[in-house]
Amino acid sequence: MSDAENINLVYKSCADEKVNDPFGIYSQNLKTLLVSLVTQSEQKPFFTTTFGEGHNEIMGLYQCGGDLSNSACNNCVSKIPEMLDKLCGKVVAARVQLIECYLRYEVVGFKQVPETQLLYKVCGSKKENYDDGFERRRDYAFGVVESGVKSGGNLFYTGSYESLDMLGQCEGDLGNDDCGDCVKSAEDQAKAECGDSISAQIYLHKCFISYSFYPKGSPGQQDCTRRAVALTVGGFGALALLIVCYLVIKSRLKKKGDDTEDWAEKGDNIKNWTAYIM
């Protein structure tokens, strides 16, 4: 696996049970399934299908980030089939989660896990003592994400609130209310697992959330501040820059289409491999 793929890999989950496939039927069905998923990713952000019959029937799906273009979705999904073989080998079920998409498959009838099963978490650094009001901002933002995924139409939401960037997404076959319930569970688990961390990523079986808090302002705000301080041109130029900064900050606070995840935070993490996590 290349360095680029390693960077994109968030986590992988591989079933312990190996495939019993003396005639190669399962392997061919899996290959056909993966080709179909990659092809469909050129057209839509989510797709699920099955191939084969009997004990060789396999279900598979992929999910791309709600803010990805079709070409970006396909570029992400197309990386996974080769990674599956290298990371998991020939097993009856597997899941690979990259930053921008994931793909999973399983033999039909394989043991299921709850929709809100915690699969993986990343907790960032703890908040500083001067970060008064962080929990209030985070909890309010959680409510916004929960409402956003239910009303957004594609079970995806991203936005900013008071220097806190947040994102939520559900698997594409969930109903709106079920998506909201899953995200609410992810938020509760973020509080329980990550406490007062100023950033977190919480992966459940059917949904995902992340948030990042910037005590000194979001990256765009900090950049504007540094440039304004360093500016040595006349007063008119300084005024123009401040106007631009205002528009950038205003856009960050209101725009819901930007990908605002902070993937730089790499705190403590766990791999909760109860039975098979998918």
Q: Is the fold of 3-107 the same as that of 118-216+261-271?
A: yes
118-216+261-271 adopts what CATH topology?
Answer: Killer Toxin P4; Chain A (3.30.430)
Give just the sign of the alpha carbon dihedral 61, 64, 70, 73: negative
Return the residue matching tokens 């899996």: 30
Domain regions of the chain by residue span: 3-107, 118-216+261-271, 219-249
Sequential pLDDT tens for the chain (278 residues)? 554 554 589 999 999 999 888 899 999 999 999 999 999 999 999 999 999 988 889 999 999 999 999 999 999 999 999 999 999 999 999 999 999 999 999 999 888 789 999 999 999 988 777 556 888 899 999 999 999 999 877 899 999 988 899 999 999 999 999 999 999 999 999 999 999 899 999 999 999 999 999 877 655 544 443 343 333 334 444 444 444 344 444 444 444 444 333 333 333 333 333 333 34
Q: 3-107: what CATH class?
A: alpha beta
**What is d(CA 194, CA 123) in angstroms, rounded to the nearest whole number?**
5
CB 57 within 8 A of CB 38: no
Residue 278 CB contacts under 8 Å (≥ 6 apart), including other chains:
13, 93, 95, 104, 106, 113, 119, 205
Provide the terminal-to-terminal Cα distance of the chain, rounded to the nearest Å.
Answer: 22
This prediction has a pTM of: 0.76
